[in-house]
Amino acid sequence: MDLRQRFETLTTAHVADACVRAELPVRCLGLRSVGDGDKVVGRVLPARHAGSVDVFLEAYESAEPGDVLVVDNGGQLDHACVGDLIVQEAQTAGLAGVVIWGLHRDTADVRAIGLPVFSLGSLPTGPLRVEERPADALASARMGEWVVDPTDLVLGDHDGVVFIPAAHAEDLFQLAEGIRDKERRQAERIRGGRSLRSQVGFDGFLAQRAENPTLTFREHLRRVGGVVEE
């Protein structure tokens, strides 16, 4: 089963928690999906926008099936940088989705296309000026405080997007699946009448913390094998 199939049963929250468990940076952004139920995973295809869509079309020239266009528009909120034609072309080029640190437009048409798109929101106007394009416009993309490139994977769902090193993907997915399974078992027990506090021995944690104020709940959870925060 490939990562795309496995991500169908996971969430970005599971993967983010796996990064914490693996002591890797949690590189995530609170981007919103344009369509209902949008979900995406794929290799980062970076593009730094400077006011013209030619950078996206050039990126598609070297795209591999399943890549995700990751657009760095500096988080700007005064204009949209991606519209329906760019999303339609991404689908035609075999991309799995589009992730934008910035705004999109043509929302109704983008939803009709059906390709997963994530952004900071929408605005009717496109770019009002063209700036000098960086020399490394197709090498990497800044997403919030993070810089990502084709050695990374991007995963997106209703909670936002998370970036992980492709080289660590298998290990992170195994951790995420373990976290998912434990959470499901805990949820089933709660529905069955056994409180989460009881499952994780919360009274014991409070007693231990009274004796050792430096003890954290996360340390306690790891000792008892519970999962709530990671």
218 marked ligand binding residue: no
Q: How many CB atoms lie within 10 A of CB 127?
A: 18
DSSP state string for the chain: --HHHHHTT--HHHHHHHHHHTT---EEE--EESSTT--EEEEEEEEE-SS-THHHHHHHHT--TT-EEEEE-TT--SSEEE-HHHHHHHHHTT--EEEEESEE--HHHHHHH---EEES-B-S---S---PPPTTTTT-EEETTEEE-TTEEEEEETTEEEEEEGGGHHHHHHHHHHHHHHHHHHHHHHHTT--HHHHTTHHHHHHHHHH-TT--HHHHHHHHT--S--
Tokens of 203: 């009274």
136 marked ligand binding residue: no
113 marked ligand binding residue: no
102 marked ligand binding residue: no
126 marked ligand binding residue: no
Distance of alpha carbon 205 from its chain centroid, rounded? Answer: 33
67 marked ligand binding residue: no
Could you list the residues known to form a binding site for substrate, using ranges.
83-86, 105
Could you list the residues known to form a binding site, using ranges.
83-86, 105-106
Could you list the residues known to form a binding site for Mg(2+), using ranges.
106
